[in-house]
Amino acid sequence: MQQVSDGNLSFDIDKLWSDLQTKVDRMMVQIGDKSPHVARGDGIYDNNPTDAWTSGFWPGMLWIMYDMTGKEHYKQAAWHWDRNIEEHFVKPSNLYHDVGFQFLPTAVIKYKLTGDADARRIGLEAANFLAGRFNIAGNFIRAWNTIPGAWHEGNTGWAIIDCMMNLPLLFWASEELKDPRFKHIAMAHAETALKHFIREDGSSCHICCFDPETGEFIREIGGQGYAAGSAWSRGTGWALYGFSAMYRMTGQIRFLDAAKRVAHFFVANLEEDNIPLWDFRVDDREEAPRDTSAAALAASGLIDISKYVPASQAKLYINKAKDILRSLTHNYSTWDQPDHQAILLQGTGHKPLGSNINVSLIYGDYYYLEAIAKLMGWNKNMF
């Protein structure tokens, strides 16, 4: 029986995994056919449109459970989600750069685990869609669709750090089709992100603006962070995880070095309980909410980094991942609230807009479950 212990906080990984199975089984009944995004004070997950960027996380949790346990009810519940989301390719929708978030944990993992030919087709369709958003002048994948009132230049030249997490979809398509075009686009975007998003101290900005005609860099925007020049913690998590994934897919050390630099910044700026504030550079720290989704995301990425560095370095990353997961488990979870439909509490969605503050977020739940699965030996990274 594997034990993880640190002072007064400890958990039995085997028992925790058993508890997660019980929790996810209960969530299946509670959530039903909904596409969950946020659960507020009542603990009930909402039903978001299936073209929303978060629509892949709940089925992704089910596919992990299926892969880890072999239990058919998880596969049956996850099976239809890639088709549900795919419908939005042929009708008016708000699909954009985040098709990786939507189809990596649905179509692509479904194909990898079951060999389903239609899932393969859908995954490749999503990769084609994502590749079509590439701006060749600026070497970046355009973020979002048209946003009314997006600064004075519009947002056709915007790229965001979150998109690092969509790049594995392009690498998968290149490997599947034996066609390097998709990989070339992913590499070009990653190089742009490395140059313009990651600061010398390891912090990351959220939005970079480029001239969409010339590709010239214009400025950074705070976006979901506190301000331009600040360090939105979930964005830092996207960078940490995203560049570690780039190393996994390319073996190029500069991407691992970037992931490590971001990881060191993230870890150095955690609160005493190992959970970050929603922005590491917010002015009013006493009133600033935490973001457990950023914590779970970073923990999963830290586990990955620990596998890629020499053994003498690995403990730094794996031990901090365990510290974060330990705190989430003991201080921010709903184990004693069986009617609560989420796993983690105190997530922060979009603080500058006052949207989804101190709530449960499905992507926080996903990355928490993913990280625990990795500690249990799961190694089929979706992202």
Cβ density class 212-234: b for 16+ within 10 Å, e for less: beeeebeebbbbbbbeeebbbbb
Is residue 110 within 8 A of residue 83, CB to CB? The reply is no
Closest CA to 345 of 356, 361, 330: 361
Residue of 51, 82, 98, 365 marked catalytic: 98
**How far apart, in whole angstroms, are the C-alpha atoms of residue 376 and residue 46?**
30
**How far apart, in whole angstroms, are the C-alpha atoms of residue 43 and residue 360?**
8
Is residue 20 within 8 A of residue 376, CB to CB? The reply is no
Clarify whether 179 is annotated catalytic: no
H helix and E strand count, the chain: 14, 10
**CA 371: distance to chain centroid?**
12
User: Residue 333 gets which letter from DSSP?
Assistant: B
Residue of 6, 12, 19, 162 marked catalytic: 162
Within a 10 A sphere around the Cβ of 116, how many other Cβ atoms? 15
Clarify whether 291 is annotated catalytic: no
**CA 102: distance to chain centroid?**
11
Rg over CA atoms, the chain? 19
| Largest interatomic CA distance in the chain | 59
Q: Which residues are catalytic?
A: 98, 162
